[in-house]
Structure 1
Amino acid sequence: MDDLIGTQTPGRRITDPAESLRALERAVPGLVGLRRPEPATLDWASLEGGLGTALPADLKLLAALYPTFALGDFLLVGLPEPDEEHHRLRGIRSSLEIVQAWWDSDMSIGLRPHPAPGGLLPWAESNEGDMLLWTTTGATPDDWPVTVASRNGGWWHYTGGAVQFLTEWLDGTLDPWALPPLTPEITPC
C-alpha cells in the first residue's frame, strides 16, 4: 500500500497564470528559447470535452506559449499542439488507465481516477514512472492541488498550481520528498 507523505503549501500561492509562467521562465532560462512566436490557438473545447472537465488556466497559458518539453532529462510536460489535441487527449486517457490500475490494486491511497468526483487527472510524468496529477477538487480547476505519485510509493500533495509546482521544484523552494532534484535543462519534444 502506498503512503501519503503529506502536503506542502507554497509560501504564497501564485494565482495569476502569467505571473506563474514568468516565474517558471526565470527558473528555466532555456525555456524562453522554445517560446512560440505567437500564442497557439488550441481547441480547448475538444480536449476539455473529451476529458469532461475544464483545465487550469496556468496549464492553458503554458500550452499556448510552449510545445511539449522535458526538464532535466527526467520529467515530460506533455502539452497539446494545434490541430493535434486528440493526441494529447489519447495520452491523458492512457495515463488514466494506469491510475485506474492503481485504484484497482488499492495503490492509490484511496484516490480514484478522473472522472470520479475529486478524481486524479494526470498532467506530467517522469521517465522513471513518477506521475504528477491534479486532484480535481475545489471550486474551479485553478484550485486543484497537485498530487505526486512517486514510483517508490510515496504520495503527497502540493496546494499550488502545476506551473508553480514546477518552478518551486526547480528552484529548490519545494522539498521534492520522494522525487529527485530537478535540473533546469530543457529539451523540446
Structure 2
Amino acid sequence: MATAPKMLRALRRAPGLRVHPDRPGLLPWGMTVNGEHCLWYTQGEPDEWTVLVTDMREKWSYNGNFSSFIRKFLTAEIRCPLFPDDVPGGSKPFQEP
C-alpha cells in the first residue's frame, strides 16, 4: 500500500494536476485498504470542497460537504463505484440512531 508521501509524489507527477497547498488543488485525507486515494478538491471554502476518490486510473467525485458524503456513504444513499460492492456494509448499511 502506498503511503501519503508516495501518493503526493504520484499526484505531483501527473500532468495538469495541482496539489495542496496550491489552490484549487488536491489534498489527500485517506486511503482505502485496496489502494484507492481519498482527496479533497480545495476550491472555495473548506466546507464546500469536493470529495474525490481515485485509483489513479479512474476517478469518482461527490459534490457536497464531507459530513454529507460520510453520512450518505455509510447509509448507502450514495455509492462509490471504485469500491467493492460490499462496501460500506453489504446488504446491511449503517443506520443512523
The answer, yes or no, to whether TM exceeds 0.5 is yes
Aligned length: 87
Unaligned 5+ segments in structure 2 are none
Larger Rg: 1
CA distance in 2, matches of 1:135, 1:157: 9
> Is 1:160 aligned with 2:69?
no
Q: Amino acid of the residue matched to residue 102 of structure 1?
A: L
Which residue number corresponds to residue 18 of structure 2? 112
TM-score (norm 1): 0.41
Change (3 A) 1:170 1:157: same
Determine the C-alpha separation between the residues in 2 that align with 1:129 and 1:100.
Answer: 15
Structure-2 residue corresponding to 1:95: 4
Question: Which stretches of structure 1, 4 residues or longer, exceed 6 Å deviation after superposition?
Answer: none
Q: Which residue of 2 aligns with 1:58?
A: none
Whether 1:173 and 2:82 are equivalent positions in the alignment is: no
Q: Secondary structure at the match of 2:29?
A: strand
Deviation at 1:105, TM superposition (A): 4.3
Structure 1 contact 96–121 (Cα < 8 Å) conserved = no
1:145 counterpart residue number: 50
Q: 1:96 to 1:114 in 2, by over 3 A?
A: farther
Q: CA deviation at 1:100?
A: 2.9
Matched-pair contact (CA < 8 Å) for 2:41–2:52: yes
Cα distance in 2 for residues equivalent to 1:161 and 1:96: 25
Q: Secondary structure at the match of 1:134?
A: strand
1:108-153 Cα deviation digits (max 9, x unpaired): xx33211112111111211121111110001x111111111136x2
Letter in 2 for 1:95: A
Larger % of helix: which? 1
SS in 2 for 1:168: helix
Q: Distance in 2 between matches of 1:104 and 1:124?
A: 19
SS of equivalent residue, structure 2 residue 19: coil
- SS of 1:163's equivalent? helix
RMSD: 2.2
Unaligned runs of 5+ in 1: 1-93
**TM-score normalised by length of structure 2:** 0.73
